[in-house]
Amino acid sequence: VTDAAPAVLGGSAAAASGRPVRAVVYGVGAMGSILTRLLVEKGAQLVGAVGRSPAKVGRDLGEVAGLGVKLGIPVSDDPAEVLAQAGADVAVVAVASYLGPMYDHFRVCLENGVNVVTIEEESFFPWSTAPELAGRLDELAKRHGATLMGSGAQDAYWMTLPSVLMGAAHRVDSVHGCTRWNVDDYGPEVADHVHAGWLPEEFDAHVAAHGWPSFVVRNTLDALVADAGLTPSEVKTAVTPVIAAEPIQSRALGRAVARGSLLGVTDTATITTEEGPSFEFRQTGCVYAPGESDLNEWVVRGEPAELRLRNDRVPTRLATCTQVINRIPDVINAPPGFLTVTDLPRLRYRHFALDRYVRVP
Ligand SMILES: NC(=O)c1ccc[n+]([C@@H]2O[C@H](COP(=O)([O-])OP(=O)(O)OC[C@H]3O[C@@H](n4cnc5c(N)ncnc54)[C@H](OP(=O)(O)O)[C@@H]3O)[C@@H](O)[C@H]2O)c1
């Protein structure tokens, strides 16, 4: 513990832990690889890694994540063993989307008393779309003294920034968000979710048969409405395919998307509230043509008549991972349970090693 620790902790009387934060990387794909580098650079001690494919299992985490150095941690396909033996403070989980498929991955962390920060999108605010699964995970987390939280790109850009913008209003009538991100910034898991490369008729048949579980936008908007203390009265979601006007090479797919096939989708969620303000969030995730870049724009209407926030060229891929790392002390310091951004302190920059922000009771 250094003299500076109390200041780093925001004036708290608690002391910093005095040892590195011990972290497991759970899912060593596109995001897990970036997370590994950021963890090392923020002074965390890597104590375990979980992967799946034979091409990764058994190899060193540093090598699989492309760090060019060995970390002495083999990637394992046995999460129960890794989580039981690692003695980790936190697992950063970047595997797949939706609570259903992710339930067992979170369960094994929580049962071993290991806190979780995940980029799984439904976890950002699961209470409307998956209350039963979220409730079971909340109970499990409390029983084992651990905390689970969803973060990622939505934490600052799609939730905190519009929330702060609303804070500049005297009266809010409506909130409109519009964002874009590039499928090729991520791995195959994401390309699969937005059905990149599919034919429009295949996509239409799929949606007709299975419906469309809103991807990212619904849960993000649920968080924004909850953060404002408002009560949803009606929720609508819609999806439209984004079609290639010419063949475009996709890194995530490892092939070109043919003219007339899906580059991705535009997902829209609208929420009206009992109290009056309405919310709309439209998000396009697609394979980019050369020259396209990420965008984040929010407009709040009411009094003042219009408040506007626009970020061009958002580095969404890296900013997804930086926010997860900056959230780690919040999650370690938080009470047990399945918590969301609405329960935790505002996202903050972490200049020092992560352990400097961890409170010891
Ligand atoms: N919230 C956000 O801001 C945000 C941003 C980006 C991505 N995401 C989400 O994060 C997830 C990962 O994205 P990504 O771009 O990193 O995808 P990715 O490159 O496809 O990585 C997914 C990784 O999960 C691993 N995996 C899959 N099933 C597993 C299992 N049963 N056990 C252990 N590991 C398993 C895969 O391992 P192998 O490679 O060994 O098969 C792969 O490395 C996606 O669901 C995506 O939607 C969220």
Q: How confident is the model over 194-236, as pLDDT tens digits?
A: 999 999 999 999 999 998 888 799 999 999 999 999 999 999 9
Consecutive H or E run containing 37: helix 30-41
Angle CA(303)–CA(309)–CA(310) in degrees, nearest 5? 155
> Probe ligand 1: pick from 105, 116, 186, 320, max atoms within 8 Å of CB?
186
At residue 360 the predicted structure's pLDDT band, cuts being 50, 70 and 90, is confident
User: pTM of the prediction?
Assistant: 0.94
Q: What is the pLDDT of residue 197?
A: 97
Residues near 37 by Cβ (< 8 Å), separated by ≥ 6?
Answer: 65, 67
3-state helix, strand, coil in the chain (%, to 5): 35, 30, 40
Q: What is the pLDDT of residue 17?
A: 66
Task: Using CB atoms within 10 Å of the CB of residue 86, give its burial: 0 to 12 exposed, 13 to 18 middle, 19+ buried.
Answer: buried
pLDDT in tens, 231-290: 999 999 999 999 999 999 999 999 999 999 999 999 999 999 999 999 999 999 999 999
How far, in Å, is the centroid of ligand 1 from the Cα of 323? 17
Q: What is the pLDDT of residue 205?
A: 96
Mean pLDDT of 111-128: 98
Q: Which atom of ligand 1 is nearest to the CA of 151?
A: 1
How far, in Å, is the centroid of ligand 1 from the Cα of 178? 24
Q: What is the pLDDT of residue 7?
A: 44
How far, in Å, is the centroid of ligand 1 from the Cα of 29? 5
How far, in Å, is the centroid of ligand 1 from the Cα of 86? 21
Q: What is the pLDDT of residue 214?
A: 81
Q: What is the pLDDT of residue 125?
A: 98
How far, in Å, is the centroid of ligand 1 from the Cα of 103? 14
Mean pLDDT of the chain: 94
Q: Is residue 221 classed as helix, strand or coil in its secondary structure? A: helix
Mean pLDDT of 45-66: 98
Using the 8-state DSSP alphabet, how is residue 261 labeled? S
Question: What residues form DSSP beta bridges with 265?
Answer: 241, 285
> Does the structure show a pLDDT above 80 at 294?
yes
> Does the structure show a pLDDT above 50 at 2?
no
Q: Tell me which residues have their CB closer than 6 angstroms to ligand 1.
A: 27-32, 50-53, 56, 94-97, 119, 121, 152-154, 186-190, 193, 320
